[in-house]
Amino acid sequence: MENINLENLKIETFSINHIEDVTSIHSKVLDGWSMKGLIGDLANQSTESYVAVYEDRALAFCSFIATDDAELVFICTHPLCRRQGVGEKLLREAIIALPKTVNSIVLEVRSQNEPAIKMYEKMGFVTLGKRKNFYSFPEDDAIVMELIKGGVMELN
């Protein structure tokens, strides 16, 4: 896939029009997510879901449970578009787009998932703790991270 010009990457609210692209990304990511669960999460009314669109194609997606203490449920970039700033731009703009009542964002991430952990740290998430053996297939600990929102978004 060609180099991404981030200026032309648009962050949009997830809609039915993005399902085909999201499904295609999902099929390339073999980490055990169920398709039914994924689409259910994206379309669920209690989640806020966003996509990063480039040349009319969704290249990344993310989803939050947006209570006052929101939770990032997942984020994923197309495997051929990684390390070009797509995930970071999506996450930054999605967090800013969340309802103003959201005070903090928590997430759980596999302790072996260095790309994701580095991205979260770069954006100012801090580690709250660890849940031992939280994941299976393969077994792994979960790192719990949090980003506190102030009156103004405190992103790094």
Judged by the rule CB under 6 A, the positions of this chain that interact with ligand COA are 29, 74-77, 82-88, 109, 113-116, 118-119, 122
Q: In the structure encoding, which two tokens stand for residue 11, read together?
A: 């962050």
Task: Count other C-beta atoms under 10 Å from residue 57's C-beta.
Answer: 16
Tell the smallest beta-carbon distance from residue 23 to ligand COA (Å). Answer: 15
Q: In the structure encoding, which two tokens stand for residue 141, read together?
A: 């600990």
Tell the smallest beta-carbon distance from residue 31 to ligand COA (Å). Answer: 7
Tell the smallest beta-carbon distance from residue 149 to ligand COA (Å). Answer: 20
Q: Which is nearer to ligand COA, 53 or 116 (CB)?
A: 116
Tell the smallest beta-carbon distance from residue 116 to ligand COA (Å). Answer: 4
Q: Which is nearer to ligand COA, 16 or 30 (CB)?
A: 30
Q: Which is nearer to ligand COA, 140 or 153 (CB)?
A: 140
Task: Count other C-beta atoms under 10 Å from residue 92's C-beta.
Answer: 16
- Strands of the sheet containing 104-110, edge to edge, are 10-13, 47-54, 57-65, 69-77, 104-110, 140-148, 126-135
Q: Which is nearer to ligand COA, 32 or 151 (CB)?
A: 32
Query: What one-character DSSP code corresponds to residue 154?
Result: -
Q: Provide the pairing of β-strand 10-13 with 126-135.
A: unpaired
Q: Nearest residue to ligand COA, using CB?
A: 87
